[in-house]
């Protein structure tokens, strides 16, 4: 990116025709913009995460959903939010820019939260007659469901626009063409960003959940809506200070173009010797495409040089012709899909927190005589264990391993495998704890009282949360590092996008699994494993099923690791890669 600056006259940096930044000077960008960006993301995270833990109770008690249906709705909501993050990244990178994307997302989130608050305020927006036991409720009519799902949809759109853009937008403010090696400033920003995200998650799972438990849904939904309004206003206050990068082509769009062009050219024959028919690009890193996945090589075949190429040799229409480099980038992307797929069931295990919240509601949650832990706050143990483990690994284990000759600590693939095995162990713990909880409820004669509190401490749920948190620390971070190590630098940002897609797929798989188990085990007059009354159902059997699936997934991972696992030094061996542009270690949307 070329920037010409006239300091003597105006001090204003003007972008060239090839630049991507808007005009900026000493009055824009820098650390002074960080409070607006970080506060915006923090308030959005507190507001959205604060709605999640107790939402299963709102759907069950106020809308009459069975717990299996409520869990599926929450899984689909999570899937939509993660899937829309990919759409939001493409929208920001290719069309509207990150600033407008964050503004759009903030307003959408606020609108969704305000609409959700109205469902608690206006009795006509939800079923009005429920039995005192809360088990049998009138079904919500289509109008009421439309309002509810519209509110959740707006919140998902907001999350999809904000989350993939916020961290990259902050990095844009710290980009300095005069000082390209400002990694120290960027590291400080990333540390503060992730620290604020962790604090926001803890606040959401404790304070917001506590407000909902103590003051009801009207206040509990109003607080997130107000926080989201503050998030919008604070971000707009700093508008004049931001460096706003113009949209360019998204990397994901480039990958899609290869697939489209290869499909268009599917009837063409590949040349056996005349490699001049392949379009190498203006700065080729590959002389010919590789033989693997040969069908994709048709995307870089020049059919008609006069129509496919401009006079300067560039591509006239990227939807009709791609370069060899783009084709090889897609191949690298496809090669890691088998390894990527093994993380789906790991996330399915992590996403069963709604059942853990229902369990906690029936257990003794008192810490002191007057204070009890909100049921929805039990998930904070997972976040704390994840944070503690990452700090321990980074500051203690890695230095020790380096002294023993293992530079960089444990390999990403080893950490991925350990995380998968720990997820299986965590599900087994969950099954044992739930079996014990159900047995105690039966012994106390509470089998027909689903809302009764049994004489069993909620702290019994903590071990499974701790193990799941450590499992996520091993697997999730290992996955992202592995994706980075196997993909070319031009696709580094896709590594995070891959994990986001994986979370969306895991939510869909989890929803389908819950519906399938509920349908099969509840046939006829049989009591479903996932019955509304946990004391009559068999949630422990469901956990054992998840443990068995996690173990099978681990075996599948070992096979994929042996068959598809590539050398983690591939990117290091690409040192001969020619780069005529300034490479910045910054995440894109």
Domain count, the chain: 3
pLDDT band at 589 (very low <50, low <70, confident <90, very high): very low
Are residue 227 and residue 344 in the same domain, yes or no?
no
Is it the case that residue 567 has pLDDT exceeding 60?
no
Are residue 197 and residue 313 in the same domain, yes or no?
no
pLDDT band at 150 (very low <50, low <70, confident <90, very high): very high
- 68-84 average pLDDT score: 88
Is it the case that residue 503 has pLDDT exceeding 90?
no
Least confident of 121-130, 186-195, 322-331, 511-520: 186-195
Are residue 173 and residue 41 in the same domain, yes or no?
yes
Are residue 182 and residue 119 in the same domain, yes or no?
yes
Are residue 242 and residue 268 in the same domain, yes or no?
no
Is it the case that residue 427 has pLDDT exceeding 90?
yes
Query: What global pTM score does this model have?
Result: 0.75
Q: 555 lies in a domain?
A: yes
Q: 16 lies in a domain?
A: no
Is it the case that residue 569 has pLDDT exceeding 60?
no
- Helices 251-264 & 324-335, crossing angle to 10 degrees? 100
Are residue 396 and residue 261 in the same domain, yes or no?
no
pLDDT band at 258 (very low <50, low <70, confident <90, very high): very high
Q: 122 lies in a domain?
A: yes
Q: 531 lies in a domain?
A: yes
pLDDT of residue 106: 92
Q: Which residue has the higher pLDDT, 308 or 363?
A: 363
Average pLDDT, the chain: 81
For residues 189 and 34, is the Cβ–Cβ distance under 8 A? yes
- 462-474 average pLDDT score: 92
Q: Which residue has the higher pLDDT, 195 or 386?
A: 386
Q: How far apart are CA 438 and CA 379, in angstroms?
A: 21
pLDDT of residue 311: 84
Q: Please give the C-alpha separations between residue 12 and each of 5, 25, 97, 175, 544, in angstroms, as whole numbers.
A: 6, 5, 22, 16, 64
Q: 18 lies in a domain?
A: no
Q: What DSSP designation does 292 have?
A: T
- 469-474 average pLDDT score: 90
For residues 580 and 283, is the Cβ–Cβ distance under 8 A? yes
pLDDT of residue 370: 77
Q: Give the count of beta carbons closer than 10 Å to the beta carbon of residue 345.
A: 26
pLDDT band at 478 (very low <50, low <70, confident <90, very high): confident
Q: Which residue has the higher pLDDT, 423 or 303?
A: 423
Q: 132 lies in a domain?
A: no
Domain boundary pick from 189, 219, 248:
248
- 438-447 average pLDDT score: 92
- Choose the most confident range, by mean pLDDT, from 62-66, 239-243, 546-550: 546-550
**Full residue range of the structural domain in which residue 460 is found:** 336-568
Q: 318 lies in a domain?
A: yes
Is it the case that residue 107 has pLDDT exceeding 70?
yes
pLDDT of residue 496: 64
Is it the case that residue 166 has pLDDT exceeding 60?
yes
| Termini Cα distance of the chain | 18
Tokens of 90: 């493409």
Residues whose CB is less than 8 angstroms from the CB of residue 272 and which lie 6 or more positions away in sequence, other chains included: none
283-310 pLDDT, tens per residue? 666 677 888 888 898 998 888 888 888 8
pLDDT of residue 329: 82
Task: For residue 314, give the 3-state DSSP assignment.
Answer: coil
Sign of CA dihedral 158, 159, 164, 169: positive
pLDDT of residue 175: 67
pLDDT of residue 20: 40
Are residue 364 and residue 288 in the same domain, yes or no?
no
Task: For residue 359, give the 3-state DSSP assignment.
Answer: helix
pLDDT of residue 7: 35
Are residue 201 and residue 290 in the same domain, yes or no?
no
Are residue 315 and residue 367 in the same domain, yes or no?
no
- 383-400 average pLDDT score: 85
- 47-64 average pLDDT score: 88
Q: Which residue is it, tokens 């096979």?
A: 559
Is it the case that residue 158 has pLDDT exceeding 70?
yes
CATH number for position 434? 1.20.1250.20
pLDDT of residue 375: 87
Q: 405 lies in a domain?
A: yes
Q: How far apart are CA 438 and CA 415, in angstroms?
A: 34
Q: How far apart are CA 392 and CA 261, in angstroms?
A: 48
Are residue 286 and residue 235 in the same domain, yes or no?
no
**Percentage with pLDDT > 70 across the chain:** 83
Is it the case that residue 124 has pLDDT exceeding 50?
yes
- 511-518 average pLDDT score: 91
Least confident of 78-82, 190-194, 231-235, 517-521: 190-194
Compute the residue count for the chain. Answer: 589
pLDDT of residue 315: 86
pLDDT of residue 109: 93
Tokens of 164: 């993939």
Are residue 92 and residue 152 in the same domain, yes or no?
yes
Q: Which residue is it, tokens 């069993």?
A: 456
Are residue 194 and residue 257 in the same domain, yes or no?
no
1-54 pLDDT, tens per residue? 333 333 333 332 333 333 344 434 457 777 788 888 888 888 888 988 888 888
- 190-210 average pLDDT score: 82
């Amino acid at each position: 990116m070329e920037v010409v600056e006239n300091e003597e006259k105006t001090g204003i940096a003007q972008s060239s025709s090839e630049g991507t930044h808007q005009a900026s000077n000493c009055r824009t960008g820098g650390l002074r913009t960080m409070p607006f960006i970080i506060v915006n993301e923090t308030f959005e995270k507190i507001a959205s995460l604060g709605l999640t833990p107790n939402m299963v109770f709102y759907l069950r008690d106020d809308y009459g959903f069975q717990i299996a249906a409520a869990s599926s709705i929450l899984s689909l909501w999570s899937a939509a939010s993660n899937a829309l993050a990919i759409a939001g990244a493409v929208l920001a990178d290719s069309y509207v820019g990150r600033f407008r994307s964050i503004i759009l997302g903030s307003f959408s989130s606020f609108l969704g939260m305000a609409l959700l608050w109205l469902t608690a305020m206006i009795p006509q927006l939800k079923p009005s007659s429920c039995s005192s036991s809360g088990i049998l409720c009138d079904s919500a009519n289509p109008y009421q469901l439309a309002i509810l799902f519209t509110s959740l949809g707006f919140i998902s759109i907001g999350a999809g626009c904000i989350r993939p853009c916020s961290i990259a937008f902050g990095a844009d403010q710290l980009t300095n063409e005069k000082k390209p090696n400002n990694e120290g400033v960027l590291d400080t920003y990333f540390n503060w960003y992730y620290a604020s995200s962790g604090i926001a998650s803890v606040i959401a799972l404790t304070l917001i959940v506590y407000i909902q438990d103590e003051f009801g849904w009207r206040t509990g939904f109003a607080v997130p809506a107000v926080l989201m309004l503050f998030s919008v206003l604070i971000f707009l206050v700093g508008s004049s200070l931001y460096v706003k990068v113009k949209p360019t082509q998204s990397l994901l769009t480039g990958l899609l173009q290869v697939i489209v062009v290869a499909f268009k050219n599917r009837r063409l024959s590949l040349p056996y010797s005349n490699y001049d028919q392949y379009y190498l690009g203006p700065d080729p890193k590959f002389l010919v495409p590789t033989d693997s996945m040969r069908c994709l090589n048709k995307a870089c075949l020049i059919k008609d040089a006069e129509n496919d190429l401009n006079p300067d040799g560039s591509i006239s229409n990227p939807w009709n012709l791609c370069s060899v480099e783009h084709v090889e980038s897609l191949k690298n992307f496809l090669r890691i899909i088998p390894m990527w797929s093994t993380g789906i069931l790991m996330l399915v295990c992590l996403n069963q927190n709604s059942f853990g919240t229902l369990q906690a509601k029936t257990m003794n949650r008192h810490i002191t005589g007057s204070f009890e832990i909100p049921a929805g706050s039990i998930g904070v143990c997972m976040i704390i264990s994840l944070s503690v483990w990452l700090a321990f690994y980074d500051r203690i284990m890695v230095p020790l391993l380096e002294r023993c000759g293992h530079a960089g600590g444990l390999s990403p693939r080893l950490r991925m495998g350990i995380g998968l095995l720990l997820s299986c162990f965590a599900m087994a713990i969950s099954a044992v704890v739930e079996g014990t909880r159900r047995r105690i409820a039966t012994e106390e004669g509470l089998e027909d009282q689903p809302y009764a509190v049994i004489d069993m401490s909620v702290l019994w749920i903590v071990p499974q949360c701790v193990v799941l948190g450590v499992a996520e620390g091993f697997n999730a971070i290992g996955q992202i590092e592995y994706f980075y190590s196997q993909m070319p630098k031009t696709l580094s940002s896709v590594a995070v996008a891959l994990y986001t897609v994986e979370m969306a797929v895991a939510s869909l798989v989890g929803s389908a699994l819950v519906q399938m188990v509920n349908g099969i085990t509840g046939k006829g007059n049989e009591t479903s494993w996932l019955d509304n009354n946990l004391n009559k159902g068999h949630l422990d059997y469901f956990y054992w099923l998840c443990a068995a699936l996690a173990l099978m997934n681990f075996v599948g991972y070992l096979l994929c690791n042996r068959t598809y696992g590539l050398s983690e030094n591939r990117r290091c061996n690409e040192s001969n890669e020619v780069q005529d542009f300034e490479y910045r270690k910054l995440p894109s949307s």
